[in-house]
Every structure is written in C-alpha cells, then in structure tokens.
Amino acid sequence: MRAIPTNIITGFLGSGKTTAINHLLRNRPEGERWAVIVNEFGQVGIDGSLIEQQDGIEVKELAGGCLCCALGPSLPITLATLLRRFRPDRVLIEPTGLGHPARIIDTLQNEQFKPVLALHSIICLLDPAVLHQPDVLRHPSFIDQLNLADIIVLNRTDLADAADITEARELSANLFPPKAAIHTTTQGQLASEWLDLNHQPHHQARYPQAHAPETLRPNLLAPVTPPATAAPGKPLRQSGSHDSYYSYGWIFHADDRFDWHRVQPLLDEMEGIVRLKAVLRIGHAWVSYNRNAGQPAHINESAWRRDSRLEILTRQPLEYQRVEKALMGCLMV
C-alpha cells in the first residue's frame, strides 16, 4: 500500500469539527474513498451520526473516552481494520474536544503505520468566542490542541466580534513553534489544499504526555460481550466522568418516536449544560440537535436511522433520573 494521506482535525468543544469534516467530504476529489474516525468523550456517541453518509465514505466511531488515553488501544485496531477492508485514499481523524492528539500522532508514526500512513496537516479549529471563557483558556487540552497543530483555523467568525478575531489571530501567531498557516473561515469551510501540508516531524520531541497515565492494553483474545441494545420504550443509559466533566447519554430504540413540540422545549430549556447533542426520530422524520451553553441550538434534518441518541456534557453531576423521566414523557404513544 502507498502512504495514505492522513489528517487530524482537532479543536475544543463546539469549535465546529464535525461541520468542517462534512464540508471536506462534500468537496473531496471525485472517485476518492475517504475514511473518517470519530472519537467522542461521551458514552453514547453522537458525532458519527452527524457525518453525512455518502458513497465512498467509511465512518468509524469510538465513543466513551479519549483516544489519547482510555481508548488509545482501540485506535490501532480500528485503523488496521479500515486500511485492510476499505483501502481508503485519505484518512481523517476527529479526536474528542476534550483530548489532544499527542498519542494519536505517536500511533500514526509508529513502526506499524508509518510505512502506510503519511501524516499531513494537523488542523486545529479555534472559535474566537472562547476568549470570553477563562476555564477553557486554562484547560490543558485546549492549550495542547493549539500547540500541536500545524494550521490553526479561526472558525465561526461570522458570530464573533472583530476585536475577538484579531485577538485570536494574535494568540495563534504568538505560539511556538510557529504555525505553518493561520486561516479564517465560517461554518467549517476548510479549503482542501490545507490538508496537504506535510506534518513537521521535529514537533515530535515537544509532545506533552497524554492527560491520563499509560493505559494497559486489553487482552485482545478475550471473549467480547455483545453490546446491549435498547428496546422500544426502554432506553439504554450510560454515564462517565473525567477531568471535572460529566457525560450522560441515552440510546432509544429506532421505533421510539418523539413529539417535537414537547421535546424541543425540553432541550432548549435544559440548564447547567456545557454541550447537548442529539439525533432524534420525530414521527417519520429525523433531526439532529446541537447546542452549546449560552448559544442557540442548531437543528437540521438527519440521515441517521439506526436509533435516537442524546448526549449531555456538564461540569456538575446531573439528576439523570429526572432528565430520563422527562425524555420518556416526550415519546409519542
């Protein structure tokens, strides 16, 4: 196999990574086969359902932790399977917004994958709105994402003040090592040519350690327990926590249908969230819902049909029983 161009598209929570990847997929060269690995901190996994389904696209989702720590052993297995079965012309990797790509880079450049994968641009999306969020500016993963990137893209600039855009550009320009480029865009519209800057190998010595201790590799020959599946009217609930963040997720059976006039106000008015994402069956239609704290929700039609899913990220423990009861009350009888 030739060395397959591989990109990491990173950025903190809500910076627009999935939207950017969808834009790249829609504009990929005709006839090329692209593989996308989506990593999500939440237990349920929503982002994979938000990647637009197209011919020549293979999407693999790794949920329930960061590829740089808890899910680290899963990445080489997933990569090897994709390369062997799908044989893509390009690989895109989207780490969770709470992680940094250090260990991902190490995996891509180890003896197993370096002969077959060519690490090209590492692109970090930066929303200028984070300049007003001191807790984000101090977050180690936010700092690591900027430091490890080859290219920084100021995204969502149509929603930002000119002063914030200028400050974000100056912040990016003062990073060391210097960036190969700093771009400005809206709605994740990454230019395809930004993907093909070869990653600078001298950055390797500067990688910080991942934010969790080395994880022991599981026994790959151990029997695997099939994942549980939701039954109509009986959703699966999963939760987790890391680094002062809490995630709560629900999976509903595909036959469960939500009353939009009841569930939308519930999602819009939910307080104390950092991020709320969902893909829901509404009668015979399906919609995706995406809301960051203090911002209006983005609602779109969804091609997802496997099940309904909802993921909530908070900084404080959530009364998940109350939330689940409210969600159940939004189901159509």
What are 99-125's pLDDT values in tens digits?
777 888 888 888 999 899 999 999 999
Q: What is the predicted pLDDT for the residue at 68?
A: 67
pLDDT exceeds cutoff 80 at 36: yes
Q: What is the predicted pLDDT for the residue at 45?
A: 77
Residue type, 166: T
Residue where the block lists tokens 């060269």:
29
Give tens-digit pLDDT for 260-279.
Answer: 999 999 999 999 999 999 99
Peptide bond before 177: cis, by omega within 30 degrees of 0?
yes
Q: Considering only CA atoms, give the Rg of the chain.
A: 20
CB within 8 Å of 185: residues ≥ 6 apart? 153, 154, 155, 157
Residues of the chain with CATH 3.40.50.300: 4-206
Give tens-digit pLDDT for 150-164.
Answer: 999 999 999 999 999
Identify the CATH number of the domain defined by range 236-328.
Answer: 3.30.1220.10
CB within 8 Å of 223: residues ≥ 6 apart? none
62's enclosing H/E stretch is: strand 57-63
Give tens-digit pLDDT for 163-207.
Answer: 999 999 999 998 877 899 999 999 999 999 999 986 554 343 333
Residues of the chain with CATH 3.30.1220.10: 236-328
- The topology (CATH level 3) of 4-206 is Rossmann fold (3.40.50)
148's enclosing H/E stretch is: helix 140-148
Q: What is the predicted pLDDT for the residue at 200?
A: 52
Q: Which pTM value belongs to this model?
A: 0.78
Which 8-state DSSP code applies to residue 317?
-
CB-based contact 53:85 (threshold 8 Å) = no
CB-based contact 70:79 (threshold 8 Å) = no
> Which 3 state secondary structure label does DSSP give 153?
strand
- The mean pLDDT value of the chain amounts to 86
Residue 117: φ, ψ to 5°: -120, 135
